[in-house]
Amino acid sequence: MKTPGLLDLMAVMVLLVCVASSLPLVSGDTGQRVSMTLVRGAAALGAFCLDGSLPAYHLDKGFGAGSNYWLLQFEGGGWCNDIASCVDRSKTRRGSTRFMSKTAVFTGILSNNASLNPDFYNWNKVRLRYCDGASFAGDTQIRNGASMLYFRGQRIWKAIILDLLPKGLAKARRALLTGCSAGGLSTFLHCDSFTSYLPRTANVKCMSDAGFFLDAIDVASNRTMRSFYTKLVSLQGVQKNLDPNCTRAFYPEPSLCFFPQYALRFIRTPMFILNSAYDVFQFHHGLVPPSADRTGRWNRCKLNVTACNPHQLDALQGFRTDMLGALMNFIRNSTRGGMFINPCFDHCQSALQETWLSPTSPRIHNKTIARTVGDWYFGRRKEVKEIGCSYPCDKTCHNLISASTTTDSLGNLDI
């Protein structure tokens, strides 16, 4: 039997591929290479990565008209919800700055090239490194033998903000908080908190990329993600950092507020949701987790959507229907919110140049992700809620798994 810890390990394997493509950290990229900054004052706040190392971020200073504008991006990379998987994680770049690359390549929404990122190129741009395993939301610690395991994501978030305030964030006139995957979930959890640190006159908004994780019923009729998150919230002391209005509304199951679909209606700051309706991570770990497919009937479908049988395609279309259903109140009633929900088999689309803004980037109604987000942030259009058609109608997708007999995929999950 696969344990919840193994779910994390497998999730990280997928996310390593997704992050490798959507959040470049390797040489050969054409983007700006930005050095890491350790948060020296974090120790005084008790803000440590899983292994006790100091947290970190990468800051690319803004210039010109963007000098007082700030964009902060949470890094993604899965979660851990038991001691064994968190110990394993603490020995990697997902749990320790000791193992992280000391530079990061900024592309997509982090690019400083006006032609590749016309709305945000000259902003102060920050990538918050992820090393706690609970979307920057935990606050406890556990002794593991002779060593300590630190679940201090909430304090890491605070320590980084406090480090950035005297560097100009305190004078921000415009700000956007964003993140990918587990970092996209962080955006939901910390959106209103971010607003509270900034001047009351600042134009503050938030955008989640691939962070709208559903409380899905899998193909074996289980709620695998709910079980996983419940254990995570308990282990890492997350509950006290969830929105109290949400936890009261969902008592006696406050851990449900870790799911964006339940927390969303309590968020006061304007929110943009960028997500694939067939998100690859959720396909592989929410809809069809290994525990729900012990005989491997979904293996070929998971690697190549064109190999899915009619029953499997119906399940995928049902997942899209469930996502749009979970967003329906937001679609109908949010006057300040925006969205871009496309039918791609992808995961994270804002930090990869090819999907953010390029001649071949995904489009809905001929609008790119970059243009749609910019239109929403700057109020260039009254209604900015783009919802794509269902698979297989969209020919502009960049898919992480094969989903077309004529279009090459960007990556392969079989690592």
Q: Which residue among the candidates 51, 60, 243, 279 is catalytic per the annotation?
A: 279
Within a 10 A sphere around the Cβ of 290, how many other Cβ atoms?
Answer: 15
Phi-psi region of 136 (alpha: psi -120 to 50; beta: other; left: phi over 0): left
The rounded Cα 400 to chain-centroid distance in angstroms is 16
Q: Which residue among the candidates 96, 181, 255, 334 is catalytic per the annotation?
A: 181
> Within a 13 Å sphere around the CA of 54, how many CA atoms are in the beta-carbon half?
15
Q: Rounded to an integer, what distance in angstroms lies between the CA atom of residue 397 and that of residue 410?
A: 10
347 catalytic, yes or no?
Answer: yes
Q: Rounded to an integer, what distance in angstroms lies between the CA atom of residue 159 and that of residue 53?
A: 13
Within a 10 A sphere around the Cβ of 140, how many other Cβ atoms?
Answer: 16
The answer to whether 49 touches 55, Cβ cutoff 8 Å, is yes
Helix, strand, coil share of the chain (percent; to 5)? 40, 15, 45
| β pairing state of 69-74 and 124-128 | parallel
Q: Would you state the structure tokens that stand for residue 83, as one six-digit string?
A: 């001691």
The answer to whether 400 touches 279, Cβ cutoff 8 Å, is no
311 catalytic, yes or no?
Answer: no
The answer to whether 59 touches 112, Cβ cutoff 8 Å, is no
279 catalytic, yes or no?
Answer: yes
Q: Which residue among the candidates 58, 284, 347, 398 is catalytic per the annotation?
A: 347
Write out the catalytic residue numbers: 181, 279, 347
